[in-house]
Structure 1
Amino acid sequence: MMFENNFIEVIGIDDPSKFGTGEVDGFCYGRTLGEFLDRSEGLGLLALHSQDIDADFAAVKATGLPAQQRVEFRRQITTPDGKPDEAVVSLGMIMDKELGDASNFLCQQHRPEFIWRKDWQNHENGAVAVDEVVYVTPDLGLLEERWSKLFGMDRVSRVNGGIEADTGCGHVVALTSAQAEARFAAVGLPISYTDKPHGIALQIRVRDIAQTEKVLAENAAKYGRTSKGIAVTPDCAGNTIIEFVQ
Protein backbone atom coordinates (compact mmCIF):
# COMPACT_ATOMS: atom_id res chain seq x y z
CA MET A 1 0.00 0.00 0.00
CA MET A 2 1.85 3.02 -1.32
CA PHE A 3 1.87 6.53 0.13
CA GLU A 4 3.88 9.60 -0.84
CA ASN A 5 6.79 9.05 1.56
CA ASN A 6 6.37 5.52 2.94
CA PHE A 7 4.46 2.30 2.37
CA ILE A 8 3.07 -0.86 3.96
CA GLU A 9 4.17 -4.18 2.48
CA VAL A 10 1.79 -7.07 3.10
CA ILE A 11 3.74 -10.33 2.75
CA GLY A 12 2.65 -13.95 2.58
CA ILE A 13 4.62 -17.14 1.97
CA ASP A 14 3.77 -19.11 -1.18
CA ASP A 15 6.40 -21.88 -1.06
CA PRO A 16 8.64 -22.12 2.03
CA SER A 17 10.71 -24.84 0.36
CA LYS A 18 12.35 -22.07 -1.67
CA PHE A 19 13.83 -20.43 1.43
CA GLY A 20 17.60 -20.26 1.13
CA THR A 21 17.77 -20.53 -2.66
CA GLY A 22 19.03 -16.96 -2.90
CA GLU A 23 20.81 -16.67 0.43
CA VAL A 24 23.76 -14.32 0.92
CA ASP A 25 26.44 -15.48 3.38
CA GLY A 26 23.86 -17.71 5.04
CA PHE A 27 21.16 -15.02 5.18
CA CYS A 28 17.84 -15.31 3.38
CA TYR A 29 15.19 -12.62 3.77
CA GLY A 30 12.41 -15.07 2.95
CA ARG A 31 13.63 -17.45 5.64
CA THR A 32 13.57 -14.58 8.15
CA LEU A 33 9.94 -13.89 7.21
CA GLY A 34 9.08 -17.56 7.56
CA GLU A 35 10.61 -17.70 11.03
CA PHE A 36 8.54 -14.68 12.01
CA LEU A 37 5.32 -16.28 10.74
CA ASP A 38 6.16 -19.45 12.65
CA ARG A 39 5.90 -17.31 15.79
CA SER A 40 2.94 -15.14 14.91
CA GLU A 41 1.29 -12.89 12.38
CA GLY A 42 1.83 -9.18 12.91
CA LEU A 43 4.32 -6.42 12.30
CA GLY A 44 7.67 -7.68 11.06
CA LEU A 45 10.82 -5.72 10.38
CA LEU A 46 10.67 -1.97 9.80
CA ALA A 47 12.46 -0.86 6.63
CA LEU A 48 14.37 2.42 6.84
CA HIS A 49 14.46 4.44 3.63
CA SER A 50 17.90 5.10 2.18
CA GLN A 51 19.01 7.15 -0.80
CA ASP A 52 22.65 6.05 -0.41
CA ILE A 53 22.87 2.51 0.94
CA ASP A 54 26.68 2.44 1.02
CA ALA A 55 27.03 5.61 3.10
CA ASP A 56 24.07 4.85 5.36
CA PHE A 57 25.14 1.26 6.05
CA ALA A 58 28.66 2.45 6.88
CA ALA A 59 27.22 5.08 9.23
CA VAL A 60 25.12 2.47 11.04
CA LYS A 61 28.13 0.18 11.44
CA ALA A 62 30.10 3.09 12.90
CA THR A 63 27.56 3.41 15.74
CA GLY A 64 28.43 -0.07 16.97
CA LEU A 65 24.95 -1.47 16.35
CA PRO A 66 24.89 -5.09 15.15
CA ALA A 67 24.96 -5.17 11.35
CA GLN A 68 24.93 -8.07 8.94
CA GLN A 69 24.80 -8.57 5.19
CA ARG A 70 24.14 -6.39 2.22
CA VAL A 71 21.47 -7.99 0.06
CA GLU A 72 20.57 -7.11 -3.54
CA PHE A 73 17.18 -7.92 -5.08
CA ARG A 74 16.77 -7.79 -8.85
CA ARG A 75 13.56 -8.49 -10.69
CA GLN A 76 12.84 -8.39 -14.39
CA ILE A 77 9.70 -6.37 -15.10
CA THR A 78 7.63 -5.08 -17.98
CA THR A 79 6.89 -1.35 -17.81
CA PRO A 80 3.37 -0.03 -18.49
CA ASP A 81 4.42 0.84 -22.05
CA GLY A 82 5.46 -2.77 -22.65
CA LYS A 83 9.23 -2.39 -22.45
CA PRO A 84 11.45 -4.79 -20.46
CA ASP A 85 13.32 -3.32 -17.49
CA GLU A 86 14.76 -4.26 -14.13
CA ALA A 87 13.78 -3.27 -10.58
CA VAL A 88 16.74 -3.19 -8.19
CA VAL A 89 16.57 -2.97 -4.39
CA SER A 90 19.51 -2.91 -1.97
CA LEU A 91 19.11 -3.92 1.68
CA GLY A 92 21.47 -3.47 4.61
CA MET A 93 20.51 -5.77 7.48
CA ILE A 94 20.80 -4.31 11.00
CA MET A 95 19.34 -7.09 13.11
CA ASP A 96 19.67 -7.42 16.88
CA LYS A 97 18.46 -10.76 18.26
CA GLU A 98 18.20 -9.25 21.74
CA LEU A 99 15.56 -6.83 20.44
CA GLY A 100 13.41 -9.47 18.83
CA ASP A 101 11.24 -8.06 16.06
CA ALA A 102 12.16 -4.44 16.73
CA SER A 103 15.14 -4.77 14.38
CA ASN A 104 15.44 -2.99 11.03
CA PHE A 105 16.99 -3.01 7.62
CA LEU A 106 18.05 -0.19 5.34
CA CYS A 107 16.33 -0.17 1.96
CA GLN A 108 17.28 1.73 -1.19
CA GLN A 109 14.98 1.56 -4.19
CA HIS A 110 17.28 2.20 -7.16
CA ARG A 111 14.31 2.59 -9.50
CA PRO A 112 11.76 4.31 -7.25
CA GLU A 113 9.61 5.30 -10.21
CA PHE A 114 8.50 1.68 -10.44
CA ILE A 115 6.80 1.69 -7.02
CA TRP A 116 6.15 5.33 -6.06
CA ARG A 117 3.43 5.77 -8.63
CA LYS A 118 0.71 8.36 -8.06
CA ASP A 119 -1.98 5.98 -9.30
CA TRP A 120 -1.07 3.58 -6.48
CA GLN A 121 -1.46 6.25 -3.79
CA ASN A 122 -5.20 6.84 -4.09
CA HIS A 123 -6.97 4.76 -1.42
CA GLU A 124 -10.72 4.53 -0.88
CA ASN A 125 -10.35 4.99 2.88
CA GLY A 126 -8.42 8.23 2.37
CA ALA A 127 -5.11 6.95 3.77
CA VAL A 128 -2.14 9.18 2.92
CA ALA A 129 0.77 8.13 5.18
CA VAL A 130 2.06 5.93 7.95
CA ASP A 131 2.52 8.39 10.82
CA GLU A 132 3.63 5.98 13.57
CA VAL A 133 4.84 2.44 14.13
CA VAL A 134 4.15 1.51 17.75
CA TYR A 135 6.19 -1.01 19.74
CA VAL A 136 5.79 -2.64 23.14
CA THR A 137 8.96 -3.19 25.13
CA PRO A 138 9.75 -4.41 28.67
CA ASP A 139 12.41 -1.69 28.92
CA LEU A 140 11.97 1.66 27.17
CA GLY A 141 15.70 2.23 27.39
CA LEU A 142 16.40 -0.60 24.95
CA LEU A 143 14.70 1.16 22.05
CA GLU A 144 15.70 4.63 23.23
CA GLU A 145 19.36 3.60 22.94
CA ARG A 146 18.93 1.93 19.55
CA TRP A 147 16.93 4.76 18.03
CA SER A 148 19.37 7.38 19.34
CA LYS A 149 22.12 5.62 17.40
CA LEU A 150 20.02 5.10 14.28
CA PHE A 151 18.40 8.52 14.01
CA GLY A 152 20.43 10.79 16.30
CA MET A 153 19.83 11.79 19.91
CA ASP A 154 18.19 15.04 18.80
CA ARG A 155 15.44 13.03 17.06
CA VAL A 156 14.53 10.93 20.11
CA SER A 157 12.41 12.22 22.97
CA ARG A 158 10.27 11.16 25.92
CA VAL A 159 6.59 11.87 25.25
CA ASN A 160 3.84 11.07 27.78
CA GLY A 161 6.06 8.50 29.43
CA GLY A 162 6.96 6.71 26.20
CA ILE A 163 9.76 7.07 23.67
CA GLU A 164 9.34 8.65 20.23
CA ALA A 165 11.82 8.97 17.40
CA ASP A 166 11.52 10.89 14.14
CA THR A 167 12.79 8.64 11.33
CA GLY A 168 12.38 11.29 8.64
CA CYS A 169 9.53 9.26 7.10
CA GLY A 170 7.29 8.97 10.15
CA HIS A 171 7.71 8.24 13.85
CA VAL A 172 8.49 5.12 15.87
CA VAL A 173 6.96 4.93 19.34
CA ALA A 174 7.91 2.67 22.26
CA LEU A 175 5.46 1.95 25.09
CA THR A 176 5.37 -0.35 28.07
CA SER A 177 2.66 -3.01 28.08
CA ALA A 178 0.60 -0.96 30.54
CA GLN A 179 0.90 2.17 28.41
CA ALA A 180 -0.11 0.26 25.28
CA GLU A 181 -3.09 -1.32 27.03
CA ALA A 182 -4.27 2.13 28.10
CA ARG A 183 -3.81 3.70 24.66
CA PHE A 184 -5.59 0.88 22.82
CA ALA A 185 -8.12 -0.14 25.48
CA ALA A 186 -10.97 0.21 22.98
CA VAL A 187 -9.66 -2.58 20.75
CA GLY A 188 -7.27 -4.62 22.89
CA LEU A 189 -3.70 -5.58 22.14
CA PRO A 190 -2.54 -8.15 19.58
CA ILE A 191 -1.81 -11.68 20.77
CA SER A 192 1.61 -11.51 22.41
CA TYR A 193 4.16 -14.07 21.24
CA THR A 194 7.32 -12.77 22.94
CA ASP A 195 8.60 -10.88 25.96
CA LYS A 196 11.05 -9.00 23.73
CA PRO A 197 10.28 -5.68 22.01
CA HIS A 198 7.85 -6.09 19.11
CA GLY A 199 5.53 -4.02 16.97
CA ILE A 200 1.83 -3.87 17.76
CA ALA A 201 0.28 -0.99 15.80
CA LEU A 202 0.39 1.24 12.75
CA GLN A 203 -1.02 4.74 12.89
CA ILE A 204 -2.28 5.85 9.47
CA ARG A 205 -3.08 9.46 8.62
CA VAL A 206 -6.20 9.98 6.50
CA ARG A 207 -7.77 12.91 4.67
CA ASP A 208 -11.26 12.51 6.14
CA ILE A 209 -11.80 10.21 9.09
CA ALA A 210 -15.56 10.17 8.51
CA GLN A 211 -14.92 8.63 5.08
CA THR A 212 -12.52 6.15 6.66
CA GLU A 213 -15.15 5.09 9.20
CA LYS A 214 -17.71 4.73 6.42
CA VAL A 215 -15.42 2.35 4.53
CA LEU A 216 -14.74 0.32 7.68
CA ALA A 217 -18.45 0.00 8.41
CA GLU A 218 -19.28 -0.99 4.83
CA ASN A 219 -16.70 -3.77 5.04
CA ALA A 220 -17.83 -5.00 8.48
CA ALA A 221 -14.44 -4.28 10.04
CA LYS A 222 -14.43 -4.24 13.83
CA TYR A 223 -13.09 -1.01 15.28
CA GLY A 224 -13.17 1.22 18.33
CA ARG A 225 -12.43 4.82 19.20
CA THR A 226 -9.10 5.87 20.65
CA SER A 227 -7.98 9.22 22.04
CA LYS A 228 -6.41 9.96 18.65
CA GLY A 229 -8.94 8.54 16.19
CA ILE A 230 -10.39 5.12 15.36
CA ALA A 231 -8.60 1.76 15.40
CA VAL A 232 -9.30 -1.58 13.75
CA THR A 233 -9.08 -4.53 16.12
CA PRO A 234 -6.00 -6.75 15.76
CA ASP A 235 -8.06 -9.85 14.93
CA CYS A 236 -9.24 -8.02 11.79
CA ALA A 237 -5.77 -6.90 10.70
CA GLY A 238 -3.34 -9.79 10.95
CA ASN A 239 -2.65 -9.44 14.68
CA THR A 240 -1.93 -5.73 14.26
CA ILE A 241 -3.81 -2.64 15.42
CA ILE A 242 -4.47 -0.19 12.59
CA GLU A 243 -5.22 3.25 14.00
CA PHE A 244 -6.56 5.96 11.70
CA VAL A 245 -6.10 9.64 12.53
CA GLN A 246 -6.78 12.91 10.75
Structure 2
Amino acid sequence: MKAQDMTDKETLIPELDHVVVMVHGDLDASVEQYAAMGFDLTPRGHHSLGSSNNLAIFQNNYLELLGFEAGKKLLRPELMETPRGLASVVWRCPDLDAVVSRLDETGLKIEDPTHFVRPVETGEGTFDAAFAVINFPKKGFAEGRSFFCHHKTPQYVWREEWQGHPNTALDVSEYVFAGGAPEETLAMFDTFFGPGVMKPVDGGMAMEAGAGQVVALTAEAGKARFGDAVSIIPEEGEARMIALSVRCKSLDAARKALTDGGVPFEDLGARLRVGEDAAFGLAIEFHE
Protein backbone atom coordinates (compact mmCIF):
# COMPACT_ATOMS: atom_id res chain seq x y z
CA MET A 1 0.00 0.00 0.00
CA LYS A 2 1.18 3.48 -0.74
CA ALA A 3 -1.12 6.22 -2.08
CA GLN A 4 0.29 8.54 0.63
CA ASP A 5 -1.24 5.99 3.05
CA MET A 6 -4.40 8.05 2.55
CA THR A 7 -3.74 10.26 5.61
CA ASP A 8 -2.84 13.55 3.90
CA LYS A 9 -5.35 16.20 4.96
CA GLU A 10 -4.23 18.76 2.36
CA THR A 11 -7.48 17.90 0.67
CA LEU A 12 -7.63 20.53 -2.04
CA ILE A 13 -4.37 19.61 -3.72
CA PRO A 14 -5.13 17.95 -7.09
CA GLU A 15 -4.18 14.30 -6.97
CA LEU A 16 -5.18 11.58 -9.40
CA ASP A 17 -6.95 8.76 -7.57
CA HIS A 18 -7.83 6.53 -10.50
CA VAL A 19 -8.91 6.44 -14.12
CA VAL A 20 -11.90 4.64 -15.59
CA VAL A 21 -11.96 2.73 -18.87
CA MET A 22 -15.55 1.97 -19.86
CA VAL A 23 -15.93 -1.43 -21.54
CA HIS A 24 -19.71 -1.96 -21.20
CA GLY A 25 -20.52 -5.67 -21.59
CA ASP A 26 -16.99 -6.66 -22.59
CA LEU A 27 -15.43 -7.05 -19.14
CA ASP A 28 -14.10 -10.55 -19.80
CA ALA A 29 -12.53 -9.57 -23.13
CA SER A 30 -11.04 -6.39 -21.68
CA VAL A 31 -9.52 -8.28 -18.75
CA GLU A 32 -7.94 -10.72 -21.18
CA GLN A 33 -6.54 -7.89 -23.30
CA TYR A 34 -5.18 -5.83 -20.40
CA ALA A 35 -3.60 -8.95 -18.92
CA ALA A 36 -1.94 -9.45 -22.31
CA MET A 37 -0.52 -5.93 -21.93
CA GLY A 38 1.12 -7.03 -18.69
CA PHE A 39 -1.32 -5.77 -16.06
CA ASP A 40 -2.10 -8.07 -13.12
CA LEU A 41 -5.78 -7.36 -12.52
CA THR A 42 -7.78 -7.82 -9.33
CA PRO A 43 -10.60 -10.36 -9.11
CA ARG A 44 -13.94 -9.17 -10.49
CA GLY A 45 -15.70 -6.77 -8.16
CA HIS A 46 -19.40 -5.91 -8.07
CA HIS A 47 -20.66 -2.51 -6.91
CA SER A 48 -23.83 -2.14 -4.91
CA LEU A 49 -24.89 0.28 -7.69
CA GLY A 50 -25.00 -2.58 -10.22
CA SER A 51 -21.78 -2.17 -12.20
CA SER A 52 -18.77 -4.51 -12.09
CA ASN A 53 -15.04 -3.94 -12.46
CA ASN A 54 -11.49 -5.25 -12.47
CA LEU A 55 -8.62 -3.03 -11.33
CA ALA A 56 -4.93 -2.60 -12.04
CA ILE A 57 -3.60 -1.26 -8.73
CA PHE A 58 -0.46 0.90 -8.82
CA GLN A 59 1.57 2.68 -6.14
CA ASN A 60 -0.42 5.91 -5.96
CA ASN A 61 -3.39 5.45 -8.29
CA TYR A 62 -5.12 2.73 -10.29
CA LEU A 63 -6.87 1.87 -13.55
CA GLU A 64 -10.44 0.60 -13.48
CA LEU A 65 -12.05 -1.50 -16.20
CA LEU A 66 -15.74 -0.75 -15.66
CA GLY A 67 -18.66 -2.57 -17.21
CA PHE A 68 -21.76 -4.63 -16.60
CA GLU A 69 -22.42 -8.34 -16.36
CA ALA A 70 -25.47 -9.88 -18.00
CA GLY A 71 -28.50 -10.05 -15.75
CA LYS A 72 -27.20 -7.56 -13.20
CA LYS A 73 -29.61 -4.82 -12.19
CA LEU A 74 -28.05 -1.46 -12.96
CA LEU A 75 -29.08 1.32 -10.62
CA ARG A 76 -27.27 3.96 -12.67
CA PRO A 77 -28.38 3.40 -16.28
CA GLU A 78 -26.83 6.71 -17.37
CA LEU A 79 -23.45 4.98 -17.24
CA MET A 80 -24.54 2.84 -20.18
CA GLU A 81 -24.63 6.01 -22.27
CA THR A 82 -20.90 6.60 -21.74
CA PRO A 83 -18.98 5.58 -24.89
CA ARG A 84 -16.41 2.83 -24.71
CA GLY A 85 -12.93 4.07 -23.87
CA LEU A 86 -11.42 6.50 -21.41
CA ALA A 87 -14.40 7.66 -19.38
CA SER A 88 -13.42 9.32 -16.09
CA VAL A 89 -10.63 11.27 -14.47
CA VAL A 90 -11.08 10.68 -10.74
CA TRP A 91 -9.60 12.87 -8.01
CA ARG A 92 -8.50 11.78 -4.54
CA CYS A 93 -10.72 12.97 -1.70
CA PRO A 94 -9.30 12.41 1.81
CA ASP A 95 -11.82 14.82 3.35
CA LEU A 96 -15.27 14.62 1.79
CA ASP A 97 -16.69 17.54 3.78
CA ALA A 98 -13.90 19.85 2.61
CA VAL A 99 -14.51 18.93 -1.03
CA VAL A 100 -18.27 19.44 -0.73
CA SER A 101 -17.66 22.83 0.89
CA ARG A 102 -15.30 23.89 -1.90
CA LEU A 103 -17.75 22.75 -4.59
CA ASP A 104 -20.40 24.90 -2.90
CA GLU A 105 -18.01 27.84 -2.66
CA THR A 106 -17.09 27.70 -6.36
CA GLY A 107 -20.63 27.07 -7.61
CA LEU A 108 -19.66 23.64 -8.93
CA LYS A 109 -21.79 21.50 -6.64
CA ILE A 110 -24.48 19.69 -8.63
CA GLU A 111 -25.41 16.86 -6.26
CA ASP A 112 -24.83 15.28 -2.87
CA PRO A 113 -22.25 12.50 -2.44
CA THR A 114 -23.22 8.96 -3.42
CA HIS A 115 -22.19 6.18 -1.01
CA PHE A 116 -21.69 2.57 -2.09
CA VAL A 117 -19.70 -0.59 -1.41
CA ARG A 118 -17.94 -3.34 -3.34
CA PRO A 119 -17.12 -6.73 -1.76
CA VAL A 120 -13.40 -7.51 -2.07
CA GLU A 121 -11.88 -10.97 -1.93
CA THR A 122 -8.53 -11.12 -0.15
CA GLY A 123 -6.40 -13.91 1.27
CA GLU A 124 -7.82 -12.98 4.66
CA GLY A 125 -11.47 -13.20 3.62
CA THR A 126 -14.09 -11.08 1.88
CA PHE A 127 -14.62 -7.50 3.02
CA ASP A 128 -16.64 -4.50 1.84
CA ALA A 129 -14.60 -1.74 0.25
CA ALA A 130 -16.62 1.41 0.93
CA PHE A 131 -16.60 4.63 -1.08
CA ALA A 132 -18.28 8.00 -1.46
CA VAL A 133 -18.18 9.87 -4.76
CA ILE A 134 -19.30 13.32 -5.84
CA ASN A 135 -19.32 14.50 -9.44
CA PHE A 136 -18.04 17.63 -11.06
CA PRO A 137 -20.44 19.11 -13.62
CA LYS A 138 -19.74 18.28 -17.25
CA LYS A 139 -17.80 21.33 -18.37
CA GLY A 140 -15.03 21.45 -20.96
CA PHE A 141 -15.29 17.90 -22.30
CA ALA A 142 -17.91 16.27 -24.47
CA GLU A 143 -18.09 12.76 -23.02
CA GLY A 144 -17.23 10.97 -19.82
CA ARG A 145 -17.13 12.56 -16.39
CA SER A 146 -14.90 13.69 -13.57
CA PHE A 147 -15.51 13.11 -9.88
CA PHE A 148 -13.97 12.83 -6.44
CA CYS A 149 -13.60 9.45 -4.77
CA HIS A 150 -13.40 9.19 -1.00
CA HIS A 151 -11.99 5.83 0.13
CA LYS A 152 -13.44 4.81 3.49
CA THR A 153 -11.47 1.54 3.43
CA PRO A 154 -8.28 2.12 1.40
CA GLN A 155 -6.73 -1.03 2.88
CA TYR A 156 -9.03 -3.04 0.61
CA VAL A 157 -7.86 -1.24 -2.53
CA TRP A 158 -4.11 -0.59 -2.29
CA ARG A 159 -2.88 -4.09 -1.47
CA GLU A 160 0.66 -5.26 -2.18
CA GLU A 161 -0.47 -8.56 -3.70
CA TRP A 162 -2.16 -6.58 -6.50
CA GLN A 163 0.72 -4.21 -7.25
CA GLY A 164 3.14 -6.55 -9.02
CA HIS A 165 2.62 -6.24 -12.77
CA PRO A 166 4.60 -8.16 -15.43
CA ASN A 167 4.95 -4.87 -17.35
CA THR A 168 6.34 -3.29 -14.12
CA ALA A 169 3.68 -0.54 -14.15
CA LEU A 170 4.11 1.91 -11.26
CA ASP A 171 1.48 4.61 -11.83
CA VAL A 172 -0.72 6.35 -14.33
CA SER A 173 1.50 9.31 -15.15
CA GLU A 174 -0.68 11.21 -17.63
CA TYR A 175 -4.37 11.61 -18.45
CA VAL A 176 -4.85 13.20 -21.86
CA PHE A 177 -7.71 15.24 -23.29
CA ALA A 178 -7.48 16.50 -26.87
CA GLY A 179 -9.48 18.83 -29.08
CA GLY A 180 -11.34 22.05 -28.48
CA ALA A 181 -9.65 24.78 -26.42
CA PRO A 182 -7.26 23.37 -23.78
CA GLU A 183 -7.81 26.31 -21.42
CA GLU A 184 -11.56 25.64 -21.43
CA THR A 185 -11.04 21.90 -20.93
CA LEU A 186 -9.16 22.40 -17.65
CA ALA A 187 -10.83 25.64 -16.52
CA MET A 188 -13.23 23.95 -14.10
CA PHE A 189 -10.38 22.11 -12.36
CA ASP A 190 -8.35 25.32 -12.19
CA THR A 191 -11.33 27.04 -10.55
CA PHE A 192 -11.68 24.32 -7.93
CA PHE A 193 -8.02 23.65 -7.13
CA GLY A 194 -6.57 27.05 -7.97
CA PRO A 195 -6.57 29.42 -9.49
CA GLY A 196 -3.19 28.95 -11.07
CA VAL A 197 -2.77 25.15 -11.13
CA MET A 198 -3.19 25.09 -14.92
CA LYS A 199 0.08 25.78 -16.77
CA PRO A 200 0.94 26.08 -20.48
CA VAL A 201 2.81 23.21 -22.15
CA ASP A 202 3.69 22.52 -25.76
CA GLY A 203 0.43 22.15 -27.64
CA GLY A 204 -1.89 22.85 -24.74
CA MET A 205 -2.27 23.12 -20.97
CA ALA A 206 -1.48 20.81 -18.06
CA MET A 207 -1.84 20.50 -14.31
CA GLU A 208 0.07 18.38 -11.84
CA ALA A 209 -2.02 15.67 -10.18
CA GLY A 210 -0.01 13.76 -7.61
CA ALA A 211 1.91 10.94 -9.27
CA GLY A 212 0.67 12.08 -12.66
CA GLN A 213 -0.60 15.06 -14.57
CA VAL A 214 -3.74 15.92 -16.49
CA VAL A 215 -3.06 17.33 -19.95
CA ALA A 216 -5.32 19.05 -22.49
CA LEU A 217 -3.96 19.30 -26.04
CA THR A 218 -5.21 21.10 -29.10
CA ALA A 219 -6.55 18.90 -31.87
CA GLU A 220 -3.41 19.62 -33.90
CA ALA A 221 -1.09 18.68 -31.04
CA GLY A 222 -3.11 15.56 -30.23
CA LYS A 223 -2.99 14.34 -33.81
CA ALA A 224 0.71 15.11 -34.08
CA ARG A 225 1.48 13.12 -30.95
CA PHE A 226 -0.83 10.12 -31.30
CA GLY A 227 -1.34 9.82 -35.05
CA ASP A 228 -3.40 6.79 -36.03
CA ALA A 229 -3.46 5.47 -32.45
CA VAL A 230 -6.53 7.67 -31.84
CA SER A 231 -9.24 7.97 -34.47
CA ILE A 232 -11.37 10.93 -33.33
CA ILE A 233 -10.03 14.24 -32.03
CA PRO A 234 -12.50 17.12 -32.45
CA GLU A 235 -11.22 20.27 -34.13
CA GLU A 236 -14.01 22.34 -32.58
CA GLY A 237 -16.33 22.04 -29.62
CA GLU A 238 -15.37 20.21 -26.45
CA ALA A 239 -12.41 17.93 -25.93
CA ARG A 240 -12.39 14.13 -25.74
CA MET A 241 -10.60 11.89 -23.25
CA ILE A 242 -8.20 9.99 -25.51
CA ALA A 243 -5.10 8.54 -23.83
CA LEU A 244 -3.13 7.53 -20.76
CA SER A 245 0.57 7.27 -20.02
CA VAL A 246 1.80 4.61 -17.61
CA ARG A 247 5.17 4.87 -15.88
CA CYS A 248 7.00 1.55 -15.60
CA LYS A 249 10.05 0.46 -13.66
CA SER A 250 11.45 -1.25 -16.77
CA LEU A 251 10.51 -0.39 -20.34
CA ASP A 252 12.19 -3.60 -21.44
CA ALA A 253 9.80 -5.54 -19.21
CA ALA A 254 6.85 -3.65 -20.67
CA ARG A 255 8.10 -4.36 -24.19
CA LYS A 256 8.43 -8.06 -23.37
CA ALA A 257 4.95 -8.19 -21.84
CA LEU A 258 3.37 -6.62 -24.93
CA THR A 259 5.33 -8.89 -27.25
CA ASP A 260 4.57 -12.04 -25.28
CA GLY A 261 0.92 -11.05 -25.07
CA GLY A 262 0.63 -10.54 -28.82
CA VAL A 263 -0.50 -6.94 -28.37
CA PRO A 264 0.29 -4.68 -31.35
CA PHE A 265 2.28 -1.60 -30.37
CA GLU A 266 4.55 1.12 -31.72
CA ASP A 267 8.08 1.15 -30.35
CA LEU A 268 9.05 4.82 -30.12
CA GLY A 269 12.29 4.20 -28.25
CA ALA A 270 11.58 5.92 -24.96
CA ARG A 271 7.88 5.07 -25.20
CA LEU A 272 5.73 2.15 -26.28
CA ARG A 273 2.31 3.03 -27.66
CA VAL A 274 -0.76 0.79 -27.82
CA GLY A 275 -3.53 2.15 -30.03
CA GLU A 276 -7.22 2.41 -29.29
CA ASP A 277 -8.15 -0.72 -31.26
CA ALA A 278 -6.06 -2.82 -28.87
CA ALA A 279 -6.88 -0.95 -25.65
CA PHE A 280 -10.68 -0.72 -25.78
CA GLY A 281 -11.05 2.80 -27.10
CA LEU A 282 -8.02 4.73 -25.85
CA ALA A 283 -4.30 4.95 -26.53
CA ILE A 284 -1.85 3.90 -23.81
CA GLU A 285 1.81 4.89 -23.74
CA PHE A 286 4.33 3.09 -21.52
CA HIS A 287 7.53 4.81 -20.39
CA GLU A 288 10.10 4.70 -17.59
TM-score range, shorter chain: 0.7 to 0.9
* Structure 1 residues 77 and 236: CA distance shift in structure 2, 3 A: closer
Q: Give the superposition deviation at 1:69.
A: 3.1
* CA distance 1:214–1:146, change in 2 (3 Å): same
| Equivalent residue number for residue 58 of structure 1 | 101
1:112 is aligned, of 149, 154, 163, to 154
Alignment of 1:134 with 2:176, yes or no, is: yes
Corresponding residue for residue 25 of structure 1: none
- Which residues in structure 2 correspond to 1:1-246 (within 5 Å)? 1-15=56-70, 18-20=73-75, 28=76, 31-36=77-82, 40-76=83-119, 80-82=123-125, 85-96=127-138, 99-101=141-143, 103-185=145-227, 187-191=228-232, 196-226=238-268, 229-246=271-288
User: 2:206·2:216 contact (CA, 8 Å) conserved in 1?
Assistant: yes
> Aligned partners of 1:97, 1:143: CA distance in 2, in Å?
7
Verify the 8 A CA contact 1:96 1:103 in the aligned structure 2. Answer: yes
* 1:49, distance to aligned residue in structure 2 (A): 0.9
Does the Cα contact within 8 Å between 1:165 and 1:172 map onto a contact in 2? yes
- Residues 127 and 77 of structure 1, relative CA distance in 2, 3 Å threshold: closer
Unaligned runs of 5+ in 2: 1-55
Aligned length: 232
Query: How far apart are 1:35 and its partner, in Å?
Result: 0.7
Q: C-alpha distance in 2, partners of 1:198/1:138?
A: 8
- Comparing 68-77 with 209-218, greater Cα deviation is found at 68-77
Q: Secondary structure at the match of 2:114?
A: strand
Residues 185 and 238 in structure 2, CA contact (< 8 A), matched pair in contact too: no
- Please give the alpha-carbon distance, in whole angstroms, between the structure 1 residues aligned to 2:276 and 2:155: 33
- Residue 67 of structure 1: CA displacement? 2.6
Distance in structure 1 (CA, Å) of the matches to 2:270 and 2:193: 25
Q: CA deviation at 1:189?
A: 1.1
1:190/1:240 contact within 8 Å kept: no
- CA offset digits 1:16-57 (Å, max 9, x no partner): 77233xxxxxxx3xx232111xxx311011111111112112
Deviation (angstroms), 1:141: 2.2
Partners of 2:95 and 2:273 in 1: how far apart? 35
**TM-score, normalization by structure 1:** 0.85
Identity %: 27
Aligned mates of 2:79, 2:92 — CA distance in 1: 19
Q: Distance in 2 between matches of 1:188 and 1:149?
A: 32
1: CA distance, partners of 2:186 / 2:156: 35
Given the superposition, is the C-alpha separation of residues 140 and 75 from structure 1 closer, same or farther in structure 2, using an over 3 Å criterion? closer
CA distance in 1, matches of 2:174, 2:72: 34
Partners of 2:161 and 2:173 in 1: CA distance: 21
Counterpart residue type for residue 32 of structure 1: E
Quickly say closer, same or farther: Cα 1:159–1:97, change in 2 above 3 A.
closer
Structure having the larger proportion of residues in strand: 2
The amino acid of 1:232's aligned partner reads: V
Q: Helix, strand or coil: the match of 1:9?
A: strand
Whether contact under 8 Å (1:151, 1:166) holds in the other structure is no
Shift of 1:228: 5.1
Task: Name the stretch that deviates more: 161-170 or 6-15.
Answer: 161-170
3-state SS of the aligned residue for 1:196? coil
Where in structure 1 are there 5+ consecutive unaligned residues?
A: 21-27
